[in-house]
Each structure stands twice: as C-alpha cells, then as structure tokens.
Amino acid sequence: MLGGFKNFLLRGNLVDLAVAVIIGTAFTAVVTAFTGMLMSAIAKITGGKQPNFDDFAPGDVLVGPFITAAVAFLILAAVVYFFVVTPYVKAKERYFPSAPAGTPEDIQLLQEIRDLLAAQGGGQRPQA
C-alpha cells in the first residue's frame, strides 16, 4: 500500500503539476500588476478615470461589475497571450524545433515488413 503511495508521489506528472500551480500562483501577481499598469495608462488616456462600469445598471439590473470584470479579463488574457504565450511558442520552436513531418517510425517498420513479406512470397499480396 505504501509502495503505491510512494509511486504516486514520485510520479513525474504530479511534480510537474505542483510546480505549475506554484509558478502560476506567483505569476498571477505579475500579470495582475501589469494589468493594473495598463488600466492606469488607459485612465491617463481617457482623462484620469480608470474604466469602471460598476454603477452601470440599465433597467435597475446591476450589470456593471460583470462588465468591469469582463474588460479586466480581456486585458488580462491579451497580456498573457501577447507577452507570455507568443514569446514562449517562438522560443520553444527556436530552441527545440519540432521534428520534420514524415512517416512515423512504427509505420515505416510495418511498411518494411510488408515489403519483405511481399518479396518472399513472390511479390504477391494476399487478397483481403
């Protein structure tokens, strides 16, 4: 029973996942600060007021906090995509290029076996 627990704890996926959660939590502060900086830049452009729709309530339905959260989410998503995902993908492709497209090794081996069997059998393929 303890052997299975030890295997579970030492499995690579669990450690990778734990590291991802820790790094993600720490990175949240960086992205939130950058989003705040963008919001204050927008405030300077728009005359000193940060975009805030909290009091917007058409027909006495308070939709303002949702709109504010949606705008903040879109800014946050744009920051993550353009400043994290895009450079990461470019760096990954530069330093660890993907394998050229071709026939997978197992398919290639099966094709060689087929060709050898066809050569041994007089070049005839069995009918399906």
Encode the chain (128 residues) as per-residue pLDDT tens digits: 777 877 776 666 776 787 788 888 888 888 788 877 887 887 788 777 766 777 778 888 888 888 888 887 888 888 888 888 899 889 888 888 887 777 788 888 999 999 999 998 865 555 65
Cβ within 8 Å of residue 83, ≥6 positions away: 34
Cβ within 8 Å of residue 61, ≥6 positions away: none
Q: How far apart are the first and last CA of the chain?
A: 50
- What pTM was computed for the model? 0.49
31: nearest Cα among 87, 72, 89, 92 = 72
**Which ranges of the chain does DSSP label H, i.e. alpha helix?**
2-10, 12-45, 64-80, 86-95, 105-120
